[in-house]
Amino acid sequence: MRILLEDAGKQSDLAAFLENLLERRAMNGIRTSILITNASGLRMSQQMLRNRWDEAREKAAIKATAEGDTALAASIRQFQFRDIRPKAASEIALEHASKLLGHISEEITKRVYRRVGEVVKPTK
């Protein structure tokens, strides 16, 4: 299965990811249409996703602590799943973020979801 951008005739990053995901699922014998499954192909519940999120966050915090960065570890422990949407919206162009989030106006995206600080010059 090959997913292409309509106008450019080349594969987008998302299309490449989805294609790779579908190939891995096929290799493991997973044939369900459910996108997020466990290794057996069964649907992942909200609690299963939550548990995996909490485990990954704690592992990252422990690693940061082991590397001597306690400030980063504290920041990681405070990061919540709901922070992903604004983070993603802040890392891409405003126009694309607005379309991705389904907003009518870029102003909504900018006001509610963008968390980009102002770029300033150093004092020295």
- Whether residue 103 is contained in a domain is answered as yes
Give pTM, 2 decimals. 0.53
Is residue 32 within 8 A of residue 24, CB to CB? The reply is no
- pLDDT at position 5 is 45
- Whether residue 124 is contained in a domain is answered as yes
**pLDDT of 100-113, one tens digit each?**
888 888 888 888 87
- Whether residue 21 is contained in a domain is answered as no
- Whether residue 18 is contained in a domain is answered as no
Please determine, for residue 7, whether its predicted confidence score (pLDDT) is greater than 60.
no
- Whether residue 39 is contained in a domain is answered as no
The crossing angle, in degrees rounded to 10, of helices 46-66 and 70-78 is: 170
**pLDDT of 18-59, one tens digit each?**
888 888 888 888 877 787 888 777 888 889 988 998 999 999
Domain count, the chain: 1
**pLDDT of 82-94, one tens digit each?**
777 787 788 888 8
Please determine, for residue 116, whether its predicted confidence score (pLDDT) is greater than 70.
no
